[in-house]
Structure 1
Amino acid sequence: MTTLPDRPHTALLVIDVQNGVVEHCHDLDGVVTNISTLIDRARAQDVPVVWVQHSDAELERGSESWQFVPKLVRRAEEPVVHKRYTDSFEDTDLGSVLAERGVGRLVVTGAQTDACIRSTLHGAFVRGYDVTLVGDAHTTEDLTAYGAPAPEQVIAHTNLYWGEQRAPGRRGGTVTTAEVSFAARDGG
């Protein structure tokens, strides 16, 4: 249903599941386990797995904190998109990586919910992609000291509002890991 012509395929996005990004995140073990499950399913179905890796002054490229968490292992043939902004499309080659693979629908996982996940959801949507958020495969850290809601509330709110995201010719949606389908758009 994407508005992008000739883009029948789905890709799994694994956003910023890096040591320094997720070290203080809510339910990290559960989220990483769910992402690992989705990576295995995507690979078994020949669905592209696209890795997104952030760097900035606090997250130096090549450092231990910049590395993906050890439980998630990227295969050499799986593309990695390097970014410096919260939206994974901004000033990166993500759009061309997806176009080369005929991808018009994204299944989104990773960190952090209230920054790079939300920005990428909206960035993909306004660029014409259908975007499915995996509600139990994204996380964030506790920023209540700065006035933010508790992490579980941030995650629940994002899952709630993204589940109803609609626009002409495309849609969002929120599903659980168990409900993810990489087949043609069927709601999950």
Structure 2
Amino acid sequence: MHEIGPNSRNSWRADATRVDLRRPQRPARPVTVEAQPQILTLDLASTAIVVIDMQNDFCSPDGWLASIGVDVSPARTPLPVLQRLLPALRAADVPVVWLNWGNRPDRANLPPGVLHVYDQDGTGGGLGSQLHTGARVLERDSASAEITAPLFAAPGDLHIAKYRMSGFQDTELDSVLRNLRADTLLFAGVNADQCVLATLMDAASLGYDVLMLEDAVATTSPAYCMDATVYNVRQCFGFTLTAADLQEAV
């Protein structure tokens, strides 16, 4: 029989006369890790990591935020953590999903409210504006949306462009995760109190288990924003843990 499906995790088997609707049964791979507010046991066989906005415009000294005077050094603190963690997760067959902000060049799906956040007086400098590098701010398939070095995607990683604080709005993120048969989502990236939190909240509302990796997220916002984010994730949506503890458990 032949496989029909988007990947080996979610597929039928079929030949000319029969179709077998049973999905492949993946052996459970439980790991137990220190977390807050409680110790967690999670199944790596149904887990994926979503890495949010670790891209040049947010994290690079030559990117957009740096060009408008934002100190991006806090946004770079997850880099060494993810350099260590992602290879370990890939080796454990945990899918890596890169969720980077990447607008359409014509910005046709962006309402005024999204554009206003970064261009409050309408004179430019926001989404789609041209940088000194020649790239346009947060534009898909440009240097602005590329994963920032020294991070890089590996073969088999998945890439999804987003256009809002939440990566679920107007994107295929939910469909991709369902096809991966991922119930538990690890969250990493920037900004913890903005795009990471918005995506995590939507994931929780959709029924995913949500785990934020405290040492693999960061923000250029004031420290109280991070404190509130950690509190709210633990109190209202899911759990926090460290990448270091997870990597040791894996």
Q: Distance in 2 between matches of 1:39 and 1:70?
A: 14
Deviates more, 1:155-164 or 1:83-92: 155-164
Q: Distance in 1 between matches of 2:161 and 2:144?
A: 15
C-alpha distance 86-182 of structure 1, shift in aligned 2 (>3 A): farther
What letter is aligned with 1:110? G
Tell me the equivalent position of 2:11: none
Q: Distance in 2 between matches of 1:25 and 1:138?
A: 13
C-alpha distance 71-11 of structure 1, shift in aligned 2 (>3 A): same
Q: Secondary structure at the match of 2:49?
A: strand
- 1:90: how far off? 0.9
Q: Secondary structure at the match of 2:188?
A: strand
Q: Secondary structure at the match of 1:40?
A: helix
Rg (Cα) greater in structure: 2
Deviations 1:37-56 (A, max 9, x none): 22112111111111101123
Unpaired segments ≥5 residues, structure 2: 1-24, 26-42, 61-70, 104-127, 129-136
Q: Distance in 2 between matches of 1:25 and 1:35?
A: 17
Unpaired segments ≥5 residues, structure 1: 1-5, 143-149, 167-171, 184-188
- Give the number of equivalent residue pairs: 166
What letter is aligned with 2:100? Q
- 1:26: how far off? 4.7
Contact 1:165–1:173 (Cα < 8 Å) also in 2? no
C-alpha distance 181-165 of structure 1, shift in aligned 2 (>3 A): farther
Are 2:231 and 1:157 equivalent residues in the alignment?
no
Two-structure CA RMSD over aligned residues (Å):
2.3
- 1:29: how far off? 4.0
Tell me the equivalent position of 2:125: none
Are 2:144 and 1:65 equivalent residues in the alignment?
yes
What letter is aligned with 1:124? A
- 1:113: how far off? 1.6
- 1:181: how far off? 6.6
Specify which structure has the bigger relative contact order, considering alpha-carbon pairs within 8 angstroms and separated by 6 or more residues: 1
Deviates more, 1:109-118 or 1:55-64: 55-64
Q: Distance in 2 between matches of 1:107 and 1:29?
A: 19
Aligned mate of 1:9, from 21, 46, 51: 46
Q: Distance in 2 between matches of 1:40 and 1:181?
A: 10
